[in-house]
Amino acid sequence: MNILTIFSHPFRDKYPAAVMDAFHGPIINAGHSIDILDLHREGFDPRFTEEDHACFWGGELPAEIAEMQHRVAKADQLVFVFPVYWWSMPALMKGWIERVFTVGWAYQYGKSVEDRGKENLNGLLTNLPTLLLGVGGSKKATYEKYNYEEAMKVQIDLGIFSYSGVTDVESHLIYDVEGEINVPNRKQGLLFAKELGEGFIAPSRKQRNAKEEFLVKKSLA
C-alpha cells in the first residue's frame, strides 16, 4: 500500500514533524510505502495563478499541478499533518488544495465547463481514504466551548473532501501542546498519533461516510 502524506510546517525538528513520524512508524513497520510531500521543503507555491484561473475555465493544467495530481493518483490513502493556525490548516496547505483539487479532476459539474451552473456536482476522488491530523496549541475545552473543532470538520471534511468525493475522511486533533508545562501532553500526543497510524492501515478499519454521519447527527439535533 502507498500512502501520500502532505505535511506543512517550516521545520522537520519540531513537534508537528515528530507527530508525523509517530504516525508513520506502524505504517513503515508493516512494510507499506510512504511518499512525504513536505510543502515547505519542496517549495510549493500556494498562490492561485493566471494559469490556474485559465485551467478552471477549461484551459491547460499547469505542469507542476499535474505532477502533484500524479502523486495523489498513485496513493491508496491520503494523510495531512499540520499545525492548527487560526482554527484551520496553514495557508500553504490550503493553497495546495486550492491549486491541486482542480475541476475535472477532483470535482465536476455535469460533463464539462459549459455545464457549470446547470448540472449537479459530482465528486471525482472516490475510494481514497483520508486522515487529517492537526496539532493545536489550545485546550480541548476551548475547541468544545466555541465549536471550533466542529467548524473545522464542516469546512474541511465536508466542504473540501466530501465535496470532492472523499467521503471516507476522518480528522483528529492533538490539543494543548505549547510550552514546557505541556510536555506530558506532547508525549501523549505522540502515542495518539501512533495509534492513529495503526488504525488507519488496519484490515479491520471500517469505511466512513463523513457526509452521511454529519446529516444524521444534524437530523437528531
Q: What is the pLDDT of residue 180?
A: 87
Q: What is the pLDDT of residue 185?
A: 95
Residue showing cell 491508496: 76
What pairing do the DSSP bridges indicate for beta strands 33-38 and 107-109? unpaired
Return the sign of the alpha-carbon dihedral for residues 42, 47, 48, 50.
negative
Half-sphere exposure of residue 16: CA atoms within 13 angstroms, side-chain side? 24
Joined together, the cell numbers standing for residue 123 give: 465528486
Domains for the chain: give ranges and CATH numbers: 2-220 (3.40.50.360)
96-125, pLDDT tens digit by residue? 999 999 999 999 988 777 777 778 889 999
Q: What is the pTM of this model?
A: 0.95
- Mean per-residue pLDDT for 31-51? 98
Q: Find the length of the chain.
A: 221
Q: What is the pLDDT of residue 112?
A: 76
Which tops the pLDDT comparison, 2 or 127?
A: 2
Q: What is the pLDDT of residue 151?
A: 96
